[in-house]
Structure 1
Amino acid sequence: MYIRRISRKNKNGSVTSYVQLAHNERNPKTGNPQAKVLYHFGREDEVDMDGLKRLAASISRFLGDEPVASEPKDSVQLSLLDSKTFGTAYIVDSLWHELGVGQAISKRLAQRKYEAPIERAIFAMVANRALDPSSKLGMEDWVKRDIALPGVENFEVHQGYRAMDFLIESDVDIQREVFETVADLLNLEVDLLFFDTTSSYFEMDDEPEEDSLKQPGYSKDHRPDLPQVVIGFVVTRDGIPVRCWVWPGNTSDMTVIPEVKKDLIGWRLGRVVTVVDRGFSSEDNLRELQKAGGHYIAGEKMTSGKQTVEDAMSRPGRFKTIRDNLEIKEIVVGDGEARVRYVLVRNPDEARRDAFRREAHLKALEAELARLKELDNDAHTKAHCRLQSHPTFKRYLKSDKRGNLTVDHQAVKAMERLDGKYLIRTSDDTLSAEDVALGYKQLWQVEAAFRSLKQTMELRPMYHRKNERIRAHVLLCWLSLLLVRVAENRTSHTWREIRSVMNEMHLVTYKAGSGRVRQRTEVTPEQAQILKALGYEHPPLFSDISTDTL
């Protein structure tokens, strides 16, 4: 390792010299030694050459290299200052720039006069969601002590909140621009979009204000005691999140489809078939999804009581096996404008599980009914009411003429007919029945996105009070999920696996006299494999070398 000087001739005839840290390595083809530049110091007239030579010699000894002929004899000793996790941060930063997120934010910052580095503050908060979720206050110590984020030396809470306020002002434009960049870069298949909603609760003691997003509602987190918001996601068949929404916690799933459809008008989506779960399959929603040439694949409640559903469920016909655990039967009900196309799906494995669970429920119910006969007066009344309102047992019960509870064998028989089955409705006649069934089954991509939001990015619980901050928090999690999903798809590893391997790569800072060096640890074979799958070069060996007094 040695200090190298290169010179360039300027247009006016003058010569400018630049200083580099380099070392020689053999060309794998010719076998001849060639210089590899490790770090650029800048112009020779702006650096301390003697100090750099001493520093280079010390680094060389630290790495175990052979001393160079020009090595000063008075090279200084090295002392370790800190070691921070770096590998996963490098991946997140590389994805951030490749997917155009930083560019989309910087583009909207160009007309603003912010003194704080807003783009880097937003990046730091997104990275925090993916790497080690914490509060904004906790991020100050995280950046200072634990993580080496490219371009982020420190993080201050007030800068974070200022960055969140800017982010929510431009959220629609940023989401759209990022989508267009990602769609072109990754050649996304956006012919099939999956939409679903979830909820996320808040830890708070005071009552939510009337105009607040935080409202009581049906909690998918099983926390009906806490106020919440409703979050909607549109996801591609590859699990890439396209857009997110935030609504008040008392919003019904049935009411949001028109807004989702309207917000995606003008996006470069081409011909789109939207896949939604049973909670969105109202006639109004389905008509909305068909506007502007769109189509839908929607789950249908088999016990909805609709005549078309009853006709579809009672239609005879054989199932066709499309996979080991999936059988389908196509059914068309009605004619002309009243025509409805269904695909009935049966999973034999799930059918056996349904039957096993029901037998266990009935066995437990028979025991409860036998125990009920032994009770008198108030004890009997209380046990009777408790059994009649039981969330599982009530579906198997009926009352006789005397008001006594008995097993409803007709209801049990009706349930047997539904074992392992689900019903899908579609407006697209060009899709095969198999594509309809498999497309609907991929709705788990949205569920996987929600699991990642709540578990990996730790979306919940939230403590923000202002509506804008709540929306900004969800948007930060959405951006984090975007980066994580792309990394998972490219590497075929879970984010937990990627993070575990890459977190072992550290950026070490050590002191050499009056100089400072920041150097990454060696790249392991596992880390090299992940970087190759992502399409990224190894991080530079040195990220900072300085002879300034510390």
Structure 2
Amino acid sequence: MSRRIREVRTASGAVAVQVVTSRGDVVVEIEHVGSAHTDAELELLWSVARERLHPGQQAFDLGEVPRVAARVDRIADWTSSGKSERSATGERGRPRHHAGDAHTVATTAQVLWDALGWVYTHLGFDQVADEAFRVMVLARLIEPTSKADTIRVVRSLGVKPPGLNTLYRSLKRCQARDYRDRLAKACLAYSARTSGRACLVLYDVTTLHFENEHEDELRKVGMSKEHRVDPQIQVGLLVDPAGFPLEVHLFEGNKAETTTIVPVLQAFQARHGVTDMVVVADAGMLSAGNLNALEDAGFSFIVGSRLTKAPYDLAEHFERKGDYFTDGQILESVRTMGTGRHARARRIVYQWSFKRSKRDDRTINAQIAKAERVAEGTAPLKRTRFLKVTGATKTLDEATIARARQLAGLKGYVTNLPLETMTSAAVITAYHDLWQVEASFRMTKNDLRARPVFHHQREAIEAHLTIVFAALAMTRYLTRATGQSLKTIVNQLRETRTSIIEINGATTTIPPKLTPQTTDLLAAIHGTNLVISPG
């Protein structure tokens, strides 16, 4: 069996493009692609015929195969009308020329939509089996907006969107069927495939605010790093060392950060049956009771330690060498944390950094200058570091300043891991991976615009967070696979448009010709070095 493309003059004088299937010299099937009256129409029909001849073919990059440009006047005209008519130059056998009836009906961003859909399936999220939910996740990657406006975003891509009520019903199903559980299990499976067993996880907390001045049982005014007074919720995020999300949880806006970590880890443990795991968290999670709770739940931990005064376990160093350290110097110690029956010995790792010392000195100088202005009466009285107020007298607290200078450049880390399990340098390296959580939060808030939240009911807010969780996982995959930002990926693929052309009343889809940059981008997303044929 062989297949080829041929051009045939029709009775009307047009040129028909056909895909012919033959067995030897016998024609088995003729597939009519369309009829052209102009060179432009003929070229379009040739493109369609080539796609039908080799549908979805992937090819090696061997360069373009030379072909004579499509010309309708090169096709012999054996019709009676063609023989009897003369052109303006007196020649016979020329076809009658028409203005043609080819025009673009629409363009679609099918390449972008298909690429994002492939990632969704590759991460195992198709286990959810809810097309409306899938649409909301993909649309959030392309243009984060409200659920109602999602329909406009999807339609702008040339994709048929679900109805608004369908989207709202999907939000309800999201909670009723616990989509987040399926997504979290898929995320851990992907992380295990790419990073190995999840024995080290990173945890942090952020807040999402609401454009609503009224509080309720969930949305509360609480501690805000941005000093906002809007109602908010607390979001706890657990990621692997590469920043890929593993677990997300919602808490009341006024809940203390230190009380969120244990419930999140216990839920992760119960969901996946993980028993030996090391969690890394920042100094905000540090309290003797919190660390005891983590240890009692079976977790190992590495937690940052705030240094506001010289710890007694460093007294010997300061007595012998003062505040002199070499860059990168590490000191080990053991300190008892907690009181009474809750007291436990903890391993403490300290490191001094020249770069951190310079940064701390700049901060201290700025705070001293601020305290001096308050003491001199040129700035209003308010809570200020290094300021000592005795009755009506305001002076600099020299003892506190000296203590801060002594600790400049030092960073402490608390862990219950023994030295033989993890060295001091490894403890510090693991803690420094916490920037991955911050990076994920930035993606969540900026690229995916998880805030402000416009939902009111807890069920809808939880569903919104589940959509953002899935979108964050896809963002992490895309940026890691391509080395480019989500915005760059979406913009480049969104400009690669598929055309829907109508020729003589017949509708034809013309795939885009991919640029080398787009081809490389798609290959990176799919994790392959194949050159994808532009069709």
* Cα distance per residue 1:64-90 (max 9 Å; x no partner): 975599999899642112233344433
Q: TM-score, normalised by structure 1?
A: 0.74
Q: Aligned to 1:280, which of 276, 282, 285? A: 285
Could you tell me which residue of structure 2 aligns to residue 258 of structure 1?
A: 262
Question: What is the rounded CA distance, in whole Å, between the counterparts of 1:314 and 1:447 in structure 2?
Answer: 34
Deviation of 1:420 after TM superposition, in Å, equals 2.8
Question: What is the rounded CA distance, in whole Å, between the counterparts of 1:182 and 1:501 in structure 2?
Answer: 26
Q: Aligned pair 1:458/2:449, yes or no?
A: yes
Does the 8 A contact of 1:519 with 1:541 survive in 2?
A: no
Question: What is the rounded CA distance, in whole Å, between the counterparts of 1:296 and 1:441 in structure 2?
Answer: 14
Question: What is the rounded CA distance, in whole Å, between the counterparts of 1:83 and 1:77 in structure 2?
Answer: 18
Q: Aligned to 1:397, which of 384, 387, 390? A: 387
Does the 8 A contact of 1:144 with 1:154 survive in 2?
A: yes
* Cα distance per residue 1:153-191 (max 9 Å; x no partner): 123221111111111221343134312431354244522
Question: What is the rounded CA distance, in whole Å, between the counterparts of 2:356 and 2:18 in structure 1?
Answer: 63
Q: Aligned pair 1:519/2:520, yes or no?
A: no
Could you tell me which residue of structure 1 aligns to residue 13 of structure 2?
A: none
Could you tell me which residue of structure 2 aligns to residue 312 of structure 1?
A: 313
Could you tell me which residue of structure 2 aligns to residue 84 of structure 1?
A: 108
Deviation of 1:433 after TM superposition, in Å, equals 0.4
Q: Aligned to 2:368, which of 359, 362, 365? A: 362
Could you tell me which residue of structure 1 aligns to residue 35 of structure 2?
A: 54
Could you tell me which residue of structure 1 aligns to residue 413 of structure 2?
A: 424
Could you tell me which residue of structure 2 aligns to residue 105 of structure 1?
A: 128
* Cα distance per residue 1:41-74 (max 9 Å; x no partner): xx98xxx944x34389562456897559999989
Structure 1: unaligned runs, 5 residues or longer: 6-19, 24-42, 107-118, 373-382, 543-550
Could you tell me which residue of structure 2 aligns to residue 499 of structure 1?
A: 490
Q: TM-score, normalised by structure 2?
A: 0.76
Task: Report how many aligned residue pairs link the two structures.
Answer: 458
Could you tell me which residue of structure 2 aligns to residue 127 of structure 1?
A: 138
Could you tell me which residue of structure 2 aligns to residue 197 of structure 1?
A: 205
Q: Report sequence identity in percent.
A: 22
Question: What is the rounded CA distance, in whole Å, between the counterparts of 2:296 and 2:475 in structure 1?
Answer: 33
Q: How does 1:140-289 map to 2 (within 5 A)?
A: 140-145=151-156, 147-148=157-158, 152-169=159-176, 170-205=178-213, 207-209=214-216, 212-224=217-229, 226-266=230-270, 267=272, 269=274, 271-289=276-294
* Cα distance per residue 1:4-55 (max 9 Å; x no partner): 69xxxxxxxxxxxxxx9989xxxxxxxxxxxxxxxxxxx98xxx944x3438
Query: CA distance change for structure 1 residues 445 and 70 in 2, over 3 Å: closer, same or farther?
Result: farther
Q: Secondary structure at the match of 1:182?
A: helix
Does the 8 A contact of 1:240 with 1:485 survive in 2?
A: yes
Could you tell me which residue of structure 1 aligns to residue 335 of structure 2?
A: 333
Q: Aligned to 2:150, which of 116, 127, 139? A: 139
Could you tell me which residue of structure 1 aligns to residue 12 of structure 2?
A: none
Q: Secondary structure at the match of 1:395?
A: coil
Question: What is the rounded CA distance, in whole Å, between the counterparts of 2:316 and 2:508 in structure 1?
Answer: 75
Q: Aligned pair 1:94/2:97, yes or no?
A: no
Deviation of 1:405 after TM superposition, in Å, equals 0.6
Read off the aligned partner of 1:464 and give its amino acid letter.
H
Let me know the Cα RMSD of the aligned residues: 3.5
Structure 2: unaligned runs, 5 residues or longer: 6-16, 21-27, 49-66, 78-94, 338-342
Deviation of 1:366 after TM superposition, in Å, equals 3.1
Give the structure with higher Rg (CA): 2
Does the 8 A contact of 2:266 with 2:297 survive in 1?
A: no
Does the 8 A contact of 1:215 with 1:249 survive in 2?
A: yes
Question: What is the rounded CA distance, in whole Å, between the counterparts of 2:345 and 2:363 in structure 1?
Answer: 36
